[in-house]
Amino acid sequence: MTIVGHLINGEIRTDAERLQDVFNPATGLATKQVALATKATVEEAIEAAQAAFPAWRNTPVGKRAAVMFRFKALLEQHSDTICKMIGEEHGKIGHDAAGELQRGLENVEYACGVAELLKGEHSRNVGPGIDSWSEFQPLGVVAGITPFNFPAMVPLWMYPMAIACGNTFVLKPSERDPSSTLFIAQLLKEAGLPDGVMNVVNGDKVAVDTLLTDERVKAVSFVGSTPIAEYIYSTANANGKRCQALGGAKNHAIVMPDADMDNAVNQLLGAAFGSSGERCMALSVAVAVGDEAADALVSKLKEAMKPLKVGAYSDSSNDFGPVITRQHQEKVVGYINSAEADGATIVVDGRNPQVAGYEDGFFVGATLIDNVTTAMNSYQEEIFGPVLQVVRASSMEEAMQMINDHEYGNGTCIFTRDGEAARYFSDHIEVGMVGINVPLPVPVSYHSFGGWKRSLFGDLHAYGPDAVRFYTKRKTITQRWPSSGVREGVSFSFPS
Ligand code: NAD
């Protein structure tokens, strides 16, 4: 069976003391194995990154950007291969994988402009004959730890900008769908990146803990579930590292009585069920304001869900694919069971989908649950599956309070025709990314991505302008070149 290995100092390494199966979630069969790195293997990757840092840091910024331009072209050239790899291991349908890759690629495009972004700040004559400027220097070895649900895009949020800023990188991707991530990283060599600047170690907690505690690693970017994000953030901080750790979510959409209901239904379908709901920005709760709006929404959703098709990635007429593992399938079904047991109404039941030819796949069909209350487990916790829950609120204030009281604050959306209501919502909602009639308000690559509350630990968001700040440290220089013959007197007062 093929072993997915590591990329260390420009070489693929498949030596492994421990291996883990990688599944095709549509068939339920193990198709590959992934090497789980030992501490020593991770230390080799860190060593390679450390050794590559001085030369890469001193490589002119235009040359670093040129690597990113070539990398972008290679990603486009190999997009079919990459999407197929994503489909085979993650399960998402070809059109969805292409969307993921495109959004990742846009981060490479942003990194192509790194020379502009690193220009710094300059002030002339801040005192007699004194000039002052701030420049942004790379940190050194930076680590990234990424989740299964975007094996191409989320790593591309991190290392293109980190590397373009002059850092070297060690990436620990998800062990559940590692092939596309490793393949993409290998393209950087072809793009002209020197060996050792980009390294990939596959693995689990052993690899992560090594990255978190090794003093040569200066910063850690993490994306994954909240309990692990919290652990990563506190451990990285305790070890003196800069850290940004993005966690889980529960994204609500408020549906106002004046909304264009047909449009809201279409938007909700894609945002709730696309990628089987395995998106940190998936809309998993619709809060309908008023019973009339709720009844209309539920009946329209029920009708619109009839033609939805769940199936294998290779058939592009499918709307979404399986969930990632058997264990996760059971967990999602468990949440539907618990909502039912708690008194909610299962309007469309996806617990036993029939997918001809893929009877052993990890499928859950699109599920709609009405009369959900905030006390239910299925409401409080992240399900990360194709399940849309409807909660009924009597007013917009009540709906907003619900969102503000939730522990997560990643994304949210309001469907309305009322500009004043939309403006009030965006001003007062305690969530990091807000959509007005936009169901998945994932910021474009030149804005930054991040939630509030327990959806993000750290100060700086991912990609965009915040990434430039996260992957560099500010140095401020104050300089005077006295004219010849001018001698300064001694002064003991604070310079002013
Ligand atoms: P996960 O937290 O299980 O895993 C993420 C990474 O952490 C993986 O590389 C994994 O190997 C590692 N990891 C897992 N357990 C660990 C442990 N005990 N110690 C150290 N490292 C560990 O997340 P996942 O299931 O791969 O991804 C889904 C989650 O990610 C969801 O909660 C989703 O909301 C979240 N997510 C968030 C964002 C965001 O931007 N906020 C984006 C994508 C996914």
181 close to ligand 1 (CB < 6 Angstrom):
no
221 close to ligand 1 (CB < 6 Angstrom):
no
Q: What is the pLDDT of residue 201?
A: 98
CA of 308 to the centre of ligand 1 (A): 28
Residue 23 covered by a domain: yes
Q: The domain spanning residue 121 has which CATH number?
A: 3.40.605.10
Q: Whose CA is nearest to atom 20 of ligand 1?
A: 205
The single-letter code of the amino acid at 78 is: H
Regarding whether 233 and 339 lie in a shared domain, the answer is: no
Q: What is the pLDDT of residue 451?
A: 98
Between CA 203 and CA 178, with CA 462 as vertex, the angle to 5 degrees is 25
CA of 378 to the centre of ligand 1 (A): 20
Regarding whether 372 and 242 lie in a shared domain, the answer is: no
Residue 447 covered by a domain: no
Residue 183 covered by a domain: yes
Count other C-beta atoms under 10 Å from residue 66's C-beta.
Answer: 15
Regarding whether 198 and 102 lie in a shared domain, the answer is: yes
CA of 5 to the centre of ligand 1 (A): 20
Read off the tokens for 278: 């395995």
Regarding whether 431 and 340 lie in a shared domain, the answer is: yes
152 close to ligand 1 (CB < 6 Angstrom):
no
Q: What is the pLDDT of residue 496?
A: 77
Residue 495 covered by a domain: no
Can you say whether the dihedral through the CA atoms of 226, 176, 9, 78 is positive or negative?
Answer: negative
CA of 228 to the centre of ligand 1 (A): 7
Regarding whether 289 and 221 lie in a shared domain, the answer is: no
The whole-angstrom separation of Cα 406 and Cα 247 is 14
Residue 22 covered by a domain: yes
Count other C-beta atoms under 10 Å from residue 338's C-beta.
Answer: 14
Q: Is 91 left (phi over 0), alpha (psi -120 to 50) or beta?
A: left
Q: Residue 412: phi, psi to the nearest 5?
A: -160, 170
Are the C-beta atoms of 219 and 142 separated by less than 8 Å? yes
Q: Whose CA is nearest to atom 43 of ligand 1?
A: 280
Closest CA to 239 of 225, 255, 220: 220
Q: Whose CA is nearest to atom 38 of ligand 1?
A: 280
Residues lower than pLDDT 70 in the chain? none
Regarding whether 164 and 75 lie in a shared domain, the answer is: yes
Closest CA to 152 of 121, 173, 130: 173
Regarding whether 264 and 226 lie in a shared domain, the answer is: no
Residue 489 covered by a domain: no
249 close to ligand 1 (CB < 6 Angstrom):
yes
224 close to ligand 1 (CB < 6 Angstrom):
yes
Regarding whether 340 and 201 lie in a shared domain, the answer is: no
Residue 81 covered by a domain: yes
Range of the domain at 392: 251-436
The whole-angstrom separation of Cα 291 and Cα 265 is 16
Which pairs with CB-CB distance under 8 Å and at least 24 residues apart come from 440-446? 440/270, 440/271, 440/279, 440/281, 440/282, 440/283, 440/411, 440/413, 441/281, 441/411, 441/413, 442/103, 442/281, 442/411, 444/106, 445/103, 445/106, 445/107, 445/109, 445/110, 446/110
Regarding whether 257 and 242 lie in a shared domain, the answer is: no
246 close to ligand 1 (CB < 6 Angstrom):
yes
CA of 146 to the centre of ligand 1 (A): 6
CA of 421 to the centre of ligand 1 (A): 35
Q: What is the pLDDT of residue 431?
A: 98
148 close to ligand 1 (CB < 6 Angstrom):
yes
Q: What is the pLDDT of residue 143?
A: 98
Where do runs of H (alpha helix) occur along 36-178?
39-57, 61-77, 79-89, 94-112, 114-117, 153-164
Regarding whether 112 and 39 lie in a shared domain, the answer is: yes
Model-level pTM?
0.97
Q: The domain spanning residue 365 has which CATH number?
A: 3.40.309.10
**Ligand 1 atom closest to residue 174's alpha carbon, by position in its atom list:** 9
Total domains in the fold of the chain: 2
The H or E element containing residue 306 is: none
Which of 153, 204, 278, 383 for mutating ligand 1's site (highest number of atoms within 8 Å of CB)? 204
- The Cα-based distances of 201 to 43, 141, 186, 219 in angstroms read 10, 14, 12, 16
Regarding whether 273 and 153 lie in a shared domain, the answer is: no
Catalytic residues: 280
**CA 185 distance to own-chain centroid:** 17
Q: Whose CA is nearest to atom 9 of ligand 1?
A: 174
Percent of the chain residues past pLDDT 70, beyond the cut? 100
Regarding whether 239 and 274 lie in a shared domain, the answer is: no
Are the C-beta atoms of 165 and 116 separated by less than 8 Å? no
- The Cα-based distances of 27 to 96, 231, 239, 275 in angstroms read 19, 34, 42, 17
Q: What is the pLDDT of residue 495?
A: 81
Read off the tokens for 334: 């468990």
Q: Whose CA is nearest to atom 16 of ligand 1?
A: 205
Residue 445 covered by a domain: no
Q: Whose CA is nearest to atom 35 of ligand 1?
A: 224
Which of 158, 225, 324 for mutating ligand 1's site (highest number of atoms within 8 Å of CB)? 225
